[in-house]
Amino acid sequence: MIGFLGGSGIYEALDLDGVREERVETPFGDPSAPLTIGHLGETEVAFLPRHGRNHEFSPTEVPYRANIHALKQVGVERVISSNAVGSLREELSPQTIVVPDGIFDRTSKRPQSFFEGEESEGIVVHMGFADPYCPHLADHVAAAASDALGNDSDTEAKESAGDAANGTERTDGTRTVAGGTYVCIEGPQFSTRAESEFYRAQGFDLVGMTAIPEAKLAREAELCYVTLAGVTDYDVWHDREVTLEEVLENAAANREAITAALREAISTLPAERECDCEHAISEAINTPTEAIPEETREHLSLLVGEYL
């Protein structure tokens, strides 16, 4: 099963067949909303709006652990998420869809792990996180997005042919970009100009508020994880004033583009995973099994049960 975590602006599932709603309880509380589960062709898809159906959870308040746990519980193995992001690069203009390959964490108030807190007492897990997104799934999703929407070189070719003036058709202006570093800030405020310039100087590409801890938790849950990041505007470093109307227009265009990319990615996804995500935790548990308290084992049984 494929999981889809919808970001800002995406509160409803794709057009799935045979849809059912499932309320899932987790040891980490309730997820943002009940899961919507249905079929896209042969593939079963579980959808969850990250911020809740009415956008009631701020980036700091999103129940990230419950969301990932709930997806794992219903049988999800691969998660495709979407993020609304600001651009730190002139060339990543609004309505660009980016599949990032790096994350820089600037959050400070969120639980970062399933293996922390009172109920997870007595177990230490050090998970590798050098590549925060599943490289295989990212390659697949980037290629699917490019097929569905066109990519950088297509756009240039179209523009030079004079087709770009053809109005607002999404395919005329769409660009997809593979790779890039997403800096995740705590929010809810946007960056200061000094912060934005700092991120640019580091070579980061996008700024958003939700990649962390979602990507970390997906890895701990041995799920493949990737993001389709839709650029809604330039971050504050840019001197161009953007109106709210433009941001909303860009968000709407991104929603359509992300949905199209997602459908293409899911319908062409190989049945078997070819990466190491499904064994991510096997070498990461530092505490000997016999030293882990019984209550902790119960609390974490879905995540580490097979290794203890």
Q: Which residues are catalytic?
A: 233, 235
DSSP E strands: which ranges in 56-116?
Answer: 78-87, 96-99, 102-106
| 224 touching Zn ion, by CB under 5 A | yes
Encoded one letter per residue, x for contact with Zn ion by CB under 5 A and - for no contact, window 175-214 reads ----------------------------------------
Instruction: Give the interface segment with Zn ion, choosing from 141-149, 157-165, 273-281, 294-302 (CB under 5 A).
Output: 273-281
| 66 touching Zn ion, by CB under 5 A | no
CA–CA separation, 92 and 95 (whole Å)? 8
Closest among 108, 100, 159, 84 to 135, alpha carbons compared = 100
DSSP 19: E
Q: 45 by DSSP, 3-state: which?
A: strand
| 242 touching Zn ion, by CB under 5 A | no
| 277 touching Zn ion, by CB under 5 A | yes
**Residue number, 275 or 302, with CB nearest to Zn ion:** 275
**Residue number, 14 or 134, with CB nearest to Zn ion:** 134
Phi, psi of 301 (to 5 degrees): -60, -35
| 134 touching Zn ion, by CB under 5 A | yes
CA–CA separation, 277 and 132 (whole Å)? 11
| 281 touching Zn ion, by CB under 5 A | no
Contact by Cβ (8 Å): 137, 80: yes
Q: Which residue has the tokens 């190491």?
A: 276
Residues 11-40 that bind Zn ion (CB under 5 A): none
| 99 touching Zn ion, by CB under 5 A | no
Instruction: Give the interface segment with Zn ion, choosing from 13-21, 152-160, 176-184, 276-284 (CB under 5 A).
Output: 276-284
| 221 touching Zn ion, by CB under 5 A | no
Q: Cis omega before residue 94 (within 30°)? A: no
**Residue type present at position 165:** A
| 265 touching Zn ion, by CB under 5 A | no
Interacting residues with Zn ion (CB under 5 A): 134, 224, 275, 277
